[in-house]
Amino acid sequence: MDSNIRTIINYNTWERRNNFEFFKQYLNPFITITSEADCTEALQRSKETGTSFFLRYLYAILRAVNEIPELRYRIEKSEDDSHKEIIVLYKNISVITPIRVGENGKFHSVKIPYNKNFGKFYKTAREIIADIPAETDPYAAENEMKSGANKFLDVVLVSAIPELYFTSVTCTQHHRNGADKPLINVGKAVPKEGRMVMPVAVSFHHGLADGYHIALFFDKVNAYLKETAAV
């Protein structure tokens, strides 16, 4: 699967042109929305089968992102000599995620491609994680992207803090206009009213997406978490 299939948007006819024009002059056009995802069935299924709960919710998040065009828009530079700002829409979005590999929070970042089939996604993810080298680089996936011939932004970053339930997150900024991709943080699953819920924070460029799209994202994450429980 070629994850770098992308469409350069015709800015003059783009339906979000007015939204983007409004926010692009902001010092930080990124905002973060934090809500809870119901992970009851997925967590229980992972305990019953001895499988990874992390990969279940990583799949649910990535599938939701891939089904919402507004979360697949990216701001890039044209490849001609002008290097002008362009808006592109990616067909597929992969995930970069830090994997804990040692004490004191030591981690190694990996890039995992999207696959709508949960079984295939899970198998590929396990193989990538199992192949993490002994000499780890906490930013291996990011560094590989920066040094590659095609420095495309066909990714979303998902970071997990399984020991901490949080109610808000402030994300780092890659440059003065925010980050160059959506940033997602997931916290500790806790009991609530007879269910298990976990906090999920989504940081995104407000010129590319609105609160409506983030609400849709959470609806899809909840649905796909339950779907993985049947596997």
Ordered domains of the chain (ranges, CATH): 6-228 (3.30.559.10)
pLDDT more than 90, % of the chain: 76
Give just the sign of the alpha carbon dihedral 177, 108, 201, 121: positive
Phi, psi of 138 (to 5 degrees): -60, -20
State residue 172's pLDDT score.
79
Residue 25 three-state SS: coil
User: What does the alpha-carbon distance between residue 43 and residue 162 come to, in Å, rounded to a whole number?
Assistant: 13
> Is pLDDT of 2 > 60?
no
Amino acid at 75: I
> Is pLDDT of 185 > 50?
yes
Average pLDDT over residues 171-181: 74
pTM of the shown model: 0.94
H/E segment holding residue 180: none
State residue 82's pLDDT score.
80
User: What does the alpha-carbon distance between residue 20 and residue 44 come to, in Å, rounded to a whole number?
Assistant: 42
- Residue 137 · residue 108 · CB < 8 Å: yes
Amino acid at 173: Q
Packing angle of the helix pair 53-66, 40-49 (nearest 10 deg): 140
Query: pLDDT band at residue 1, thresholds of 50, 70 and 90?
Result: very low
Residues, the chain: 231
